[in-house]
Amino acid sequence: MKIRKMMTVLMATTLVAGCFWGCGSSSKSGDSSSDSKELNICVWDGTFSEDAISKFEKDNDCTVNVTYIDNTDTLISKLVEGSGEYDVCDIEAAYVKTFVDNGLLQKIDHSAIPNEEYVDDSLMKTGAVGDEKMEYTTPDQNAGYTVILYNKETCPMEITSFKDLTNPKLKGQIAMVNSTISLYGAALEALGYKADSKDEKEIKEANDLLTEIKGNVKTFVGESAVSALENGECSVALCWDYATLCADSEENWDKFAVADIDSDYEKFLQYWGITSTSEKTELATKFINYMISPEAVAMHMKDWGGVPMVKEEYIKDLLPEGYYDNPSIAKYEELADKSWMVAVSDDQISIMDTYYTLLMGQ
């Protein structure tokens, strides 16, 4: 469910690192300001339960100041501007390597996060690229997917390929995320290339395909295409909203479906990280431990839907009856073996951003 269009990574992360390192604070292994009962977090909108955060505040006699973002650009911009110093950040897997390489995260004490034992084994086997041993991060939700959704009642054609989005029958029918990695990765895969290609010729071909598809796009969306789908504005969408649609209404279970196409879909994951400048490591770690507990994850699922990151036997009784009948759960398990996930690189993003600017300007 994420926008991954950002400034050239090298430039951005250098600025971010400068911001962190220029704050006059150093990484702490403990809470040097333990009497301070405020925690500043920066998280993606539409992911975590406010009730869960409120319960943590009550149980720990503290205040959690939440800044919501809807793309990684926003997070980086806030850090660069110095408009807020965060203790905990919700980081896309594609950017974990960037944060680790630039010293923006401190190491996590996994012994202080006992609730990891409830997390699905598949999420704990290996971390994101750049932090495979999860020295700096821990998962904060289960995997999501950027897929082609279609309204089974109104879509004018069968979609079996990403390239089908160029069909004139879909003129004015498509909602599409405005995410660089999602767009170009999907186009590259459809053309038989790798989603993390750094070959400008291949990326140009992907841009040509996206330009043709753009002629059918009704609207580009940031955080969500749910409204455009549910109100009938669009009958097709490239988006990360299938789980959200299914959680929104059981009527959507039969109304919308994921197109089975001949190329793989994008997989994305999110991770908790504690910033290298945070002096509230103990409280930050407690927060992370609570937010991945069966109790808190159940609250997240009730508010936003999705596939729980907690093993079914520990959370099923905390969820509404029939929760696992939700078709997005089975579909996401199926997509796990038919998906791609990349870590952003300076070279790729630089080329993609150049073409993205041309694409959106046409």
What digits encode the pLDDT tens for the residues 72-92?
Answer: 666 666 665 554 589 999 998
Burial tier of 311 (Cβ tally within 10 Å: 0-12, 13-18, 19+): middle
Q: Bridge-partner residues for 356, per DSSP?
A: none
Q: Retrieve residue 330's tokens.
A: 């089975």
Q: Model-level pTM?
A: 0.80
What torsion, rounded to 10 degrees, do the Cα atoms 156, 157, 162, 164 define?
-100
Residue 76's pLDDT is what? 64
| Of 23-32, 102-111, 113-122, minimum mean pLDDT range | 23-32
Residue 189's pLDDT is what? 98
Distance CA 72, CA 3 (A): 7
| pLDDT tens column, 137-179 | 999 999 999 999 999 999 999 999 999 999 999 999 999 998 8
Helix, strand, coil % (nearest 5) of the chain? 45, 20, 35
Which of 199, 232, 224, 245 lies closest to 351, judged by CA?
A: 199
Higher pLDDT: 64 or 361? It is: 64
Q: Is the pLDDT of residue 15 over 50?
A: no
Higher pLDDT: 227 or 36? It is: 227
Query: CA of 280: how far to CAs of 37, 40, 43, 62, 65, in Å?
Result: 9, 9, 17, 12, 13
Query: Between the ranges 14-18, 70-74, 156-160, 348-352, where is the mean pLDDT highest?
Result: 156-160
Query: Looking up tokens 């150049």, which residue turns up?
Result: 354
Kindly indicate the confidence band of residue 348, based on its pLDDT and cuts at 50, 70 and 90.
Answer: confident
Give the dihedral sign, CA 31/33/34/40: negative
